[in-house]
Structure 1
Amino acid sequence: MGNLKEIKLKTLKFIYNTSYQFCYYVCRPRPKRVTFATMRNAKLVDNLKQLYDTFEENGDYELKAFCFHYDRSWKSRLLFFWYSLMSVYYVATSHLFIIDDYFFPLYSLKKHRKNVVIQTWHAIGTLKKFGLSLPNAQKSVIKPHTNYDWVVVNTEADRQAYADAFDIENSHILPLGQPMLDTVSKSSINLPPNHKKKLLYSPTYRSNDSKKVLTAVNDMIKATASLKEDWEIYISIHPYVNMKSNLPKLPKNVHLFQDPALVKKIMPKVDVFITDYSSLLLNFSYFERPILLFTPDYQDYSQEQGFYVDYFNYLHAPSFKQTSSLMTFINEDLSHVDLDYVRQLKQKNFPNQDGHNSDRVYNFLTSINRYGEQRL
């Protein structure tokens, strides 16, 4: 089985790279083409959407959006090969190729310098490990997270972790602030009086283990029935989780969705955010409202994934192993919880609150010539 997988990967690497070289020499890179590409969503969201809009408003560029939602279903797996071939054409013909996540076909290429790749990543901060920081990540036939020319990060403190995760020189990591936080920083911290209370739960994605995520979701849905007040419950599922089956029957006050754009849209209206290890909690810290941790599998997750920080000591957030104790806390203690821990997270993760992160990234990227060198 191992040899078969290796042959498959080597074959894909050959096909993708051959296609890329053909497109590069025949179609040629276009100095004004900027492609925004993702394989986690069917449309541009977050950093890519914010940057796309900034390019559209400020410059004379040929803008392309390449979107494919890979959810690990069989249909998605079959389409993946075709969309990967399409993507290498856009890499070959674009001056700037901007992504927000893992992008498999890119790692198969012997990339030319005229094609400049920028990784914006889809999360802020450095909580759980990712990329090449993960155990055994560098042992793959196709080494992931290669061919990045520049990486955009949120703060100066993030640089070393991203350098390790993407095996890139520290000098090519840009602490300009994440563009998607521009929208957050323009939102109101205060909720309107007499509003209906809203709870947002966002469990972390587990590679090849959608069952564990759906089990946690089912447990949370059942537990929320014990809440004493009238809550609207929103549950955000990671876009890579296959939700075609095993969908629970939802009470009227529970809203289950799989849309990264929607989760960011409802955050300003949410009273309390619950997660296990999602970096979305850092985004939510801007609003200075309670963040709670539901971490029944912390020991296993810590061994399998690992963290860049001492997780609980870094966050200082109330944490729970059982949904029953979590609901008891919400019923009895949430209204008078000390939010200093949230304000400290906000101070660490929102150094720029001027709403101009996207402008800073745009100004840098438009200072790069077609050979991938910054004009001084």
Structure 2
Amino acid sequence: MEDFSRIFPYSGQNKAFNVFFYIEDGRETLPLRMHTINLTSTNLGFPKTEKLLTQIGKAFKESYFSLKPIIRRIYCMYSILYKRRRKNSVLFMSEQNTEIISNLKAVSEQMKQRNLDKEFHILYSARKFSADKRNLKVWFKELKALSQSGTIFIDDHAPLFDWLKLDKDQRVIQLWHAGAGFKSSGYSRWGHLGCPAPQSCHRQYTYGISGSKNIAHFFSEVWGINDENVLPTGMPRMDEYLDENHKKQKIAELYEQFPICKGKKVILFAPTYRGKNNKDAYYPYELIDFENLYNICGDEYVILFKMHPWVIKDISIGPKYQDKFLDVKTYPKINDLFYIVDLLITDYSSNIFEYSLMRKPMLFLLLIKFNILFLEDFIELMKNPLLEKYVIHLMKY
């Protein structure tokens, strides 16, 4: 029976569930015993005694006066004051962007077009959690909006909900930003590096959405919710993306904003990040041979580089290359860029699904395909040219 036992690490592999089977003496049943244990690193040497100041610092961090307990009490206070407003209040909330965009914006605008803003009080909260997590003024503003909202829409991971339990009469609806689920994330990584804790933001979702009923089960696995709670509504932002008037307007704006693209074939390099999460996200720029890539572009091509928002270090484009290379990381909507792009080069990013609607070619630069967990067979799914060498080779395809 011991052969069926397993340890499932989570929380950065600092904790784990230890699941094991055994048969109790004198019983004919097969009970399942599951214990939660804390994993700690160790060595063969004598344990070191921490300095007094280090011990005091750790104790203070874990004490009653740490930030999280204070925020929980502020939320409880606000909930008492504003709970009566929840029936007619809706919050569009992002902890990954400083403005409401993508699916959040699309749903918000649809509510206004249908005059639902006269029936509901629509609230907004947008901030970058990593930048504002110590700003109490921002906390007060967000908690006030949160406490008076009966329905909360988010479109990405909300770190606040990892440790702040919402009231039972509040609903969280996840309008996930990615168009389809093919990369392993959330609870589909159970037992692997990067798996969330058993109680996390995902477990507070009342509903989530998916692009179609055929992929809904991927999202229920990622979020740890029932299949029936994933609604196959399609992606709200697609209405704007496929609107011909919007397309014409954005093409004109893009050529005005990026005149380097006029009269050229445009290549967009938009890979996802490397690393475990937003804290250590990076991209190996050393694999890009700028000199040779620049020469191959000739007079025909220009290349736009749009790195994942989590990649802190920007790509460095020297003055010599700036007539053909352009960093567009700060441009807010990658979907709008697709209108003027002739070739997308990416790897495991979900931007491929939106781009495929333009019916233009794609190339996939796979640098670490054996280190990525997928919900589907990625190689079979793509059925496109796969590049496993330096970016320099992309122009030869």
Flag the 1:275–1:85 CA change in 2: closer, same or farther, 3 A: farther
Check conservation: 1:69, 1:239, Cα contact below 8 A.
Answer: no
Secondary structure of the corresponding residue to residue 118 of structure 1: strand
Task: Map 1:1-376 onto structure 2 (within 5 A).
Answer: 11-28=66-83, 29-58=85-114, 59=116, 60=118, 61-70=120-129, 76=131, 79=134, 83-84=138-139, 86-134=141-189, 135-137=192-194, 140=197, 143-187=200-244, 195-206=263-274, 207=277, 208-215=279-286, 218-219=288-289, 223-243=293-313, 247-249=316-318, 251-259=322-330, 261-300=332-371, 302=372, 306-322=373-389, 323-329=391-397
- After the TM superposition, which of the residue ranges 254-263 and 283-292 deviates more from structure 2? 254-263
CA shift digits 1:2-35 (9 cap, x unpaired)? 7959965995543333222221112224322221
Query: Residue 62 of structure 1: CA displacement?
Result: 1.8
Question: In the alignment, residue 172 of structure 2 is paired with which amino acid?
Answer: V
Secondary structure of the corresponding residue to residue 261 of structure 1: coil
Query: Residue 289 of structure 1: CA displacement?
Result: 0.6
Query: Residue 224 of structure 1: CA displacement?
Result: 4.3
Larger Rg: 2
CA shift digits 1:293-333 (9 cap, x unpaired)? 01122223x2xxx110110111111110122321211xxxx
Check conservation: 1:201, 1:235, Cα contact below 8 A.
Answer: yes
Residue 18 (structure 2) aligns with: none
Flag the 1:292–1:17 CA change in 2: closer, same or farther, 3 A: same
Q: For 2:303 and 2:388, locate their aligned partners in 1 and report how far apart those are by CA, in whole Å.
A: 20
Check conservation: 2:282, 2:312, Cα contact below 8 A.
Answer: no
Question: In the alignment, residue 273 of structure 2 is paired with which amino acid?
Answer: Y
Question: In the alignment, residue 216 of structure 2 is paired with which amino acid?
Answer: R
Secondary structure of the corresponding residue to residue 123 of structure 1: coil
Query: Residue 226 of structure 1: CA displacement?
Result: 1.6
Flag the 1:32–1:224 CA change in 2: closer, same or farther, 3 A: farther
RMSD: 3.2
Q: For 1:6 and 1:141, locate their aligned partners in 2 and report how far apart those are by CA, in whole Å.
A: 25
CA shift digits 1:164-218 (9 cap, x unpaired)? 11111111111000101112222499999x95311111110232444435445x5
Size of the aligned set, in residue pairs, is 318
> TM-score, normalised on structure 2?
0.71
Counting aligned pairs with the same residue, the percent is 20
Flag the 1:120–1:223 CA change in 2: closer, same or farther, 3 A: same
Question: Structure 2: where are the runs of 5+ without partners?
Answer: 1-13, 15-39, 41-57, 253-261
Flag the 1:116–1:229 CA change in 2: closer, same or farther, 3 A: same
Flag the 1:80–1:225 CA change in 2: closer, same or farther, 3 A: farther
Check conservation: 1:43, 1:67, Cα contact below 8 A.
Answer: yes
Check conservation: 1:132, 1:144, Cα contact below 8 A.
Answer: no
Secondary structure of the corresponding residue to residue 94 of structure 1: coil
Q: For 1:295 and 1:267, locate their aligned partners in 2 and report how far apart those are by CA, in whole Å.
A: 21
Flag the 1:268–1:187 CA change in 2: closer, same or farther, 3 A: farther
Q: For 1:150 and 1:221, locate their aligned partners in 2 and report how far apart those are by CA, in whole Å.
A: 49
- After the TM superposition, which of the residue ranges 311-320 and 5-14 deviates more from structure 2? 5-14
Secondary structure of the corresponding residue to residue 234 of structure 1: strand
Larger fraction in helix: 1
